[in-house]
Amino acid sequence: MTEPTSASSLALDLTLKDAKLEAALATASARAVKENWADRAIGRRDPSVWSDQDVVQRAIATRLGWLEAPFHFADETSQLKAFAAAVHDEGFTTAVLGGMGGSSLAPALLAQVFGVGQDGTPVRVLDSTDPAAVAATLDDLNPTATLFIVSTKSGTTAESLSFQAYEWARTADALSDAHVGRQTTPGDFMAAITDPDKSLHAIPHHDELRETFINPPDVGGRYSALTYVGLVPGALLGIDLDELLEKARAMVIASGVADPTANPGLALGLAMGVFAANGRDKLTFVIDRELAAFGPWVEQLIAESTGKETLASVAGRTRDAAAKPERVGVVPVDGEPLGAVSAYGNDRVFVRITLKGSAGPDASIGTNVDARLAELAAAGHPIIRIAVDSKIELGAEFVRWEIATALASIVLGIDPFDQPNVEEAKTNTRAVLAAIESGESAGSEDASVVSVADEKALTAALKAHLGNLVPNGYASIQAYVAQTPARDAALSAIRTLLRDATHRATTVGYGPRFLHSTGQLHKGGTPTGWFLQLVSEHPDDRDIPGKGYTFGQLIDAQAIGDARTIESHSLPIIRISLGRDADAGLAAVGRALAAALKEA
């Protein structure tokens, strides 16, 4: 066993007591210096650092704009402040951003972490097609005092456009009822964040909106936090964008240094990549409560960037041309309560993110967190500690983790900027929706659904499904229900039960949000996932204007489409219907799972 590596030696506080991992990290660090990863990737934006293939390099070259974003958008903050001031002065009481994945998680993070500043406008995020979530987000708002922002990089994101259609019709009705002058249209209460040209033109009413914010097209969604995606809602909230971007620029510059001992982005990326390549691919986050919303954002960044097949030709390596690609990835584990040392396998890395002055993580994560982490470190689990001095430092953390994820992908031999499996579930969803619109069966019967109404049968089904767990795998709970604090607690109890009994890492995602983040990892990453899909009925459904289906039918189709896709990859999934009362259904799932684990 070796002594913990000091913070100064890797530009982050890393406790590592595994000689094999330490040697692998040293080898990768030497390679990074020899091949000049930092300057080539960060300084020169050179795509050849990831691959020798021309086609891959050309694709990557169109996805490196996020490195320039903290510098480019420094010139846009005055415009953003003026926009936010006008919204406030015109009497808007709330802004609602409708988006998915990278388009919604950064705004949600900023709203939850920073709250509303003086003269700011509260921002809500709508990223669920569950009709109950749509109702909870919008029903208590006055449409003519609400700014709706449709956020979609492609201009065609089905969820974003469904939210827009619903809000457009809702605002039109309110304007009609209020007999506002003809010169006022729903577009006066709506803005868009998108890419130029065909993306903008694909958004309905794009030429009627009060404002359109056009992002640089060379920034992928999950790397877009410091573009208009995050900065427009940030301006509305009253966040100091100048300082946020200043912190980000400093991190870009610091991460261009060749030496890993002085490079925070490279140091973290090397650790992530080396640990995952050596079996410790479950990156488990323990975050102080004030920064807890950082977890879902970094989860989607890592999962969508790393869960995929290795490249046929990897820069700086010799590879057998006949060798088949491997499916690799880093599995981010967010929000899982800390357990005893005995609850874990040997596939974990723990990341402790602290905020100066914080009381620590939420109580749901556990008490005596740092004492427990010390026990885990003593048992051989690597521990990465990152101290954040203030909330505005999140500008730097966005960049640190983006750079780390991109550079970890060099170690793993993958392209961090594509998402080859995301479209599969969308295609299957479209097929289900087409069947609904034509009056045919939605096809839910092709993926067996077990009801909570018969707990004995549910217990038997779960017991059988538990037999599909693989060594060092992970259990993914997919909840296609509206998120509430009560459901967060119920799902946390279910995942803890699973983790403690099976020693597998557990993840929880609300559908369809996770389809735009961890969905790529589920299908394209290491084939070790075990899936528990939870669906419910929709007593209070909502029509989607202009479509032949409702929000309830849309989310059901997304669940079916995802289940079909997972099955097509020969991965184990069980679908459970929670019935009309999702909360009672979750309680039944907990009881049945406990019984199944006892019998297994």
Q: Cα-atom radius of gyration of the chain, to the nearest Å?
A: 23
User: Amino acid identity of 471?
Assistant: P
Q: In the chain, what are the domain boundaries?
A: 7-51+258-412, 68-244, 422-599
Rounded distance between C-alpha atoms, residue 506 and residue 498, angstroms: 7
Provide the pLDDT for residue 300: 97
Query: Who's near 543: CB < 8 A, 6+ residues apart?
Result: 550, 551
Give the pLDDT band (50/70/90) at residue 7. very low
Distance of CA 533 to the CA centre of its chain: 18
Over residues 524-550, mean pLDDT:
97
Average pLDDT over residues 434-441: 84
DSSP string, 10-36: HTSEEE---HHHHHHHHHHHHHHHHTT
Mean pLDDT within 388-397 = 97
Residue-wise pLDDT for 123-146, tens only, equals 999 999 999 999 999 999 999 999
**What is the average per-residue pLDDT within 293-314?**
93
Please state, in angstroms and rounded to a whole number, the distance separating the CA atoms of residues 361 and 572.
33
Query: Which is higher by pLDDT, 600 or 159?
Result: 159
Give the whole-angstrom CA distance, residue 245 versus residue 238.
Answer: 14
CA angle 27, 28, 33 (to 5 degrees): 100
Q: Are 480 and 535 within 8 A, CB to CB?
A: yes
- CATH class label, 7-51+258-412: alpha beta
Q: Alpha-carbon distance 382 to 368, whole Å?
A: 18
CA distance 588 to 598: 15
Exposed/middle/buried for 369, CB within 10 Å: 0-12, 13-18, 19+?
Answer: middle
Task: Specify which residues 386 forms β-bridges with.
Answer: 353
Candidates 3.40.50.10490, 1.10.30.50, 3.90.1150.10, 1.10.8.60; correct CATH number of 422-599? 3.40.50.10490
Can you read off the two tokens belonging to residue 22? 């330490």
pTM, full prediction: 0.95
When pLDDT is cut at 50, 70 and 90, the band that residue 438 belongs to is confident
Do 7-51+258-412 and 68-244 fold alike per CATH? yes
Q: pLDDT at position 12, please?
A: 79
- Give the tens place of pLDDT for each residue, 305-358: 999 999 976 656 655 555 678 999 999 999 999 999 999 999 999 999 999 999
Which residue, 107, 77, 79, is CA-closest to 211?
A: 79
Mean pLDDT of 203-227: 97
Question: What pLDDT, on the 0 to 100 scale, is given for residue 315?
Answer: 59
Which of left, alpha, beta for 507 (phi over 0: left; psi -120 to 50: alpha)?
beta
Mean pLDDT of 244-250: 97
User: What pLDDT, in 10s, does the model give residues 31-90?
Assistant: 999 999 999 999 999 999 999 999 999 999 999 999 999 999 999 999 999 999 999 999
Whether pLDDT at 155 is above 60: yes
Higher pLDDT, 178 or 468: 468
Question: Which pLDDT does position 312 carry in this prediction?
Answer: 77
Secondary-structure percent of the chain, ordered helix, strand, coil, rounded to 5: 50, 15, 35
Q: What is the pLDDT of residues 180-197, one digit of tens each?
A: 544 689 999 999 999 999
Residue 3: pLDDT band (50, 70, 90) is: very low
Query: For residue 256, is pLDDT > 80?
Result: yes
What's the average model confidence in pLDDT over 467-493? 98
pLDDT at residue 180 in the model? 55
Q: Are the C-beta atoms of 69 and 226 separated by less than 8 Å? A: yes
At residue 550, the 3 state secondary structure works out as strand
pLDDT recorded at residue 325: 84
Q: Which residues contact 2 (CB under 8 A, 6 or more apart)?
A: 16, 17, 18, 19, 22
pLDDT of residue 183: 65
Q: How far apart are CA 429 and CA 160, in angstroms?
A: 15
Instruction: Kindly tell me if the per-residue pLDDT of 5 is higher than 50.
Output: no
Apex 435 CA angle, 434 and 439, nearest 5: 115
CB 105 within 8 A of CB 517: yes
CB 577, CB 537: distance < 8 Å: yes
pLDDT of residue 320: 57
Higher-scoring residue by pLDDT: 301, 178? 301
How high is the pLDDT of residue 1? 30
For the segment 11-23, the average pLDDT, to the nearest whole number, is 91
Nearest Cα to Cα of residue 305 among 522, 520, 47, 569: 520
Asked if 114 and 144 touch (Cβ cutoff 8 Å), the reply is: no
Confidence at residue 363, expressed as pLDDT on a 0 to 100 scale: 86
Architecture of the domain made up of 68-244: 3-Layer(aba) Sandwich (3.40)
Would you state the pLDDT for residue 448? 74
Instruction: Please tell me the predicted confidence (pLDDT) of residue 324.
Output: 75
Distance CA 308, CA 304 (A): 8
Structure-model confidence comparison of residues 412 and 4, the more confident one: 412
| Structure-token pair, residue 330 | 């880093």
**Res 367 pLDDT > 90:** no
Separation of alpha carbons 522 and 147, rounded Å: 35
